[in-house]
Amino acid sequence: MTSTIFPRKIFQGVAKRADMFRLFDRHRDRPNRFDGDQSGVYAGEWFEIDEISYSYMLDILPPLWMRGPIFAMREFMTGSVTSVFYAIRIDEAVRYFHTYCDLSDPASVEAMRTAIIDRETRPVRAMSREERLEHIWSTTTDDYRGYAGARWPTAMQGHRTVMLYAGSEGTFLKLLDTLSDDEIAAKLPVHLRHLPTSLAA
């Protein structure tokens, strides 16, 4: 599985509490979960939540630290990566976000805040190809997503897969990163299929 550190939006829309808890560890079934440094799997992921979920997480445990409307969870996901929650005023409305920040980098919390504001203040609502793929992975049930195993070529093993429907030919697995534009559109909910593509996302 490819590890990345750059900020990346993994869910379109506002995640309610049930969605939030599912998104916290959407990589839990990866085959190399306990091998080496897993920081890159999580660090940089972010999505929007509602105020109720933000308040719930603030009250569930004393935070590791709190800086105004930003707080970090004291339970780490892996290594120095933990959940950081933000309340950010964007276009005159306060919105709430969950992120994974690597606290070994002192600049990570502010860098994530800047990335969220940049992404959410674009004048045209759009999704990059990467955001479309991440949304598909985030919303596909466990029965229809997984990781390429021993039957796949060595170079592909461990990469994310999703199940597609091929009409009379039935279903088949395909690497998430290799989905065509038509396959991506078919896997997205109707209201997201025809958003413009953002080259800057």
Encode pLDDT of 66-91 as tens digits: 999 999 999 999 889 999 999 999 98
Residue with tokens 């991506």: 184
Confidence of residue 199 (pLDDT cuts 50, 70, 90): very low
pLDDT at 195 over 80: no
Q: Which residue has the higher pLDDT, 36 or 201?
A: 36
Percent of the chain predicted with pLDDT > 90: 63
- pLDDT digit string, tens, across residues 100-121: 999 999 999 999 999 999 999 8
Q: CA 34 to CA 38: how far, in whole Å? A: 8
CA within 13 Å, CB half, 56: 12
Tokens standing for 2? Answer: 């490819």
Residue 160's pLDDT is what?
Answer: 94
Residue 194's pLDDT is what?
Answer: 62
Q: CA 136 to CA 117: how far, in whole Å? A: 23
Strand segments (E) across the chain: 8-15, 45-49, 65-67, 70-78, 81-90, 93-102, 145-147, 160-165, 171-175
Residue 124's pLDDT is what?
Answer: 65
Helices (H) and strands (E) in the chain, counts: 7, 9
Confidence of residue 169 (pLDDT cuts 50, 70, 90): confident
**Across 153-163, average pLDDT:** 92
Confidence of residue 123 (pLDDT cuts 50, 70, 90): low
pTM of the entire predicted model: 0.86
Chain mean pLDDT for the chain: 87
Q: Which residue has the higher pLDDT, 7 or 1?
A: 7
Percent of the chain predicted with pLDDT > 70: 89
